[in-house]
Amino acid sequence: MKYQLRAIDNQLDEMLQFSGAIAVEGVKGVGKTESAIRRSEHLLRLDRAGDRQILEADPEFRSFSTGTILIDEWQRMPECWDFVRRGVDAQRTPGRFLLTGSATPQAGIDTHSGAGRILSIRMRPMALFERREHCATVSLADLFLGNAPISGTTDLTLNDYVSEIARSGFPGFNELPQRAINVELDSYIERIVDRDLPEQGYNVRNRAGLLGWMRAYAAASSTTMSYSEILNAATPGESDKPARKTAALYRSKLTEIWMLDEVPAWDFVRSPLAGLAQAPKHQLADPAFVLRLLGVPANRLITERYRHFLGPLFESLATLSVRVAAESQFGSVRHLRTRRGDHEVDLIASNQDGDLVAIEVKLTADVKNDDVAHLHWLKEQLPDDVVDMVVLTTGNRAYRRSDGVAVVPLALFGA
C-alpha cells in the first residue's frame, strides 16, 4: 500500500533538526510506526523479545552507528524511556531517537518525565484532508494570518461525509470495502477489552459493564454530558450500578490507550470572560467507533430513526480534522461554553503566537445569521485575539460572508 503523507510528517521533519528525541503517541493503527520508520536508520520493536534483549544488553546504544534509532512500542519496556533520556544528555545529537507508543506505561511504573529531553507529539487517525480523495483549498495556517482568501468547490455530498465517518481514518483500512472495515473496527473494540487493557494492568472483570459504559460515552460524543450522566445512561433502570470509582477507572484506562480524545474546555489565561464551564467535550479516537459501538448502520444514518446522531458525528469528524491541522502548526484546540449555556463555540484553534480561529460546525450547506452569532460574540470579547471566524459545513462552495465569517465545506479545510 502506498504511503500517504500525513500532517505530522512536517512536524517530525522540522523538530528532528533540533530535538534529540521525539515520542510519537496515539491510538493503535494510526500510522505512527510508518511515519517514524521513514525517518530512521535503526529499528527496535519492543513487542519482540529479541529486540528487548538487545536493548537490555546495550542501554547506552553503543552498538548503534550514527542515524536515528526508532524504538517502537516503547511502553512494553518502560525503562527504555530513561535509557533514551540519558542518551540525549550524553550524545546531544539532534534526531537521534524516535519513540512510538500506543499506550502510556502501566500505573506504578516510574519513568522520568523526560522534560527538556523528549518531545511528545500526538498522532491521530487521518483527518479528512489527509485522505487521498480530497483536496483542501482553505488552510488553517492561512486562517491564522487573518482575513485569508476563501475559495474552492467540492462535489462531496452528505452521503459522502457519512461514508467518511463510517470508513474511519485508520490508514490500514483505507482500501478495504465497508463490510471489512466494520469487521476490523469490531475486532479493534474487542481487542481493547480482551487484550489492550489487560496489557495495561487492568483485568476487565465486568466486560458487559465496560462495553455499556463505552456505548454510553459514544452516545455522548460532541457533548459535555457529565460523567454521572454517562454512567446512568450506561445502566438505565439498574439499581446495582458500577461504582463511580469503577467508571472513573474505565475512563482513565481508555485514556491511557488513547481511545478517548476529549476536547478540553477553554481556559485562556488572558481571557476577560467569566463564568466559563470547565467540562470537556467528549470524543472517541475516531467517530467510526461511535457507529460500531451503537450499532448504527452507516447507510441508515440519514434516516429519521438515526439522524439525531448525524450532527454530533459530523462535528466529531470536523474536530478530528481541526485538531490534526492545528497540531501541525504546533497549536491546540479547545471548546468554549459558558456555565449558563448562553454562549458556546464548538472549537477554538490557537497557535503559538496566541492567535485564535473560532470555529462552528454546522450540518448544513445554508449558513444563517444565527449560526454565526456566537462567533461574533467571541470576536467582540477578544477583538485582538480572534483573527478569523469560520463555519465548517456540508456545502459545496467556500466563501467569505459580508460580515467576515468564512464559510468552508469540511472537504475543503486543511492544515
Q: If we measure between CA atoms, which residue out of 394, 385, 395 comes closest to residue 345?
A: 385
Residues β-bridged to residue 43: 70
CA distances from 353 to 141, 226, 283, 329, 332 (A): 12, 33, 27, 11, 12
- Is 319's pLDDT higher than 80? yes
Q: Grid coordinates representing 207? A: 466486560
Give the per-residue pLDDT at 240: 59
Give the per-residue pLDDT at 229: 87
Give the per-residue pLDDT at 244: 82
Q: How far apart are CA 276 and CA 274, in angstroms?
A: 6
- For residues 29-47, average pLDDT: 97
Q: How far apart are CA 188 and CA 190, in angstroms?
A: 5
- For residues 290-306, average pLDDT: 94
Give the per-residue pLDDT at 275: 83
Q: How far apart are CA 333 and CA 104, in angstroms?
A: 22
- Is 372's pLDDT higher than 80? yes
CA distances from 401 to 25, 149, 331, 393 (A): 39, 12, 26, 14
- For residues 359-365, average pLDDT: 97
Give the per-residue pLDDT at 103: 83
Residues β-bridged to residue 264: none
Q: How far apart are CA 185 and CA 171, in angstroms?
A: 13
Give the per-residue pLDDT at 33: 96
Q: If we measure between CA atoms, which residue out of 301, 289, 285, 297 comes closest to residue 215?
A: 289
Give the per-residue pLDDT at 246: 86
- Just give the CATH number of 7-122: 3.40.50.300
What are 166-200's pLDDT values in tens digits?
999 999 998 999 999 999 999 999 999 999 999 88
Residue 352 near residue 345 (C-beta atoms within 8 A)? no
Q: Are strands 42-45 and 413-414 parallel, antiparallel or unpaired?
A: unpaired
Domain boundaries, the chain: 7-122, 128-163+262-282+297-414, 172-256
- Proportion of the chain above pLDDT 70, given as a percent: 94
Give the per-residue pLDDT at 117: 85
In angstroms and rounded to an integer, the radius of gyration of the C-alpha atoms of the chain is: 22
Give the per-residue pLDDT at 311: 97
Q: How far apart are CA 362 and CA 183, in angstroms?
A: 30
More confident residue, 232 or 210: 210
- Is 262's pLDDT higher than 70? yes
Q: Are strands 413-414 and 344-350 parallel, antiparallel or unpaired?
A: unpaired
Give the per-residue pLDDT at 239: 59
Q: Give the count of beta carbons closer than 10 Å to the beta carbon of residue 49.
A: 9
pTM (whole model) above 0.85: yes
- Is 415's pLDDT higher than 90? yes
Query: Which of 86-90, 272-276, 287-291 has the highest average model confidence (pLDDT)?
Result: 287-291
Q: How far apart are CA 358 and CA 374, in angstroms?
A: 9
- For residues 301-307, average pLDDT: 92
- For residues 253-280, average pLDDT: 87
Q: Give the count of beta carbons closer than 10 Å to the beta carbon of residue 195.
A: 10
Residue 99 near residue 24 (C-beta atoms within 8 A)? yes
What are 347-358's pLDDT values in tens digits?
999 999 999 999
Question: What's the whole-number average pLDDT of the chain?
Answer: 92
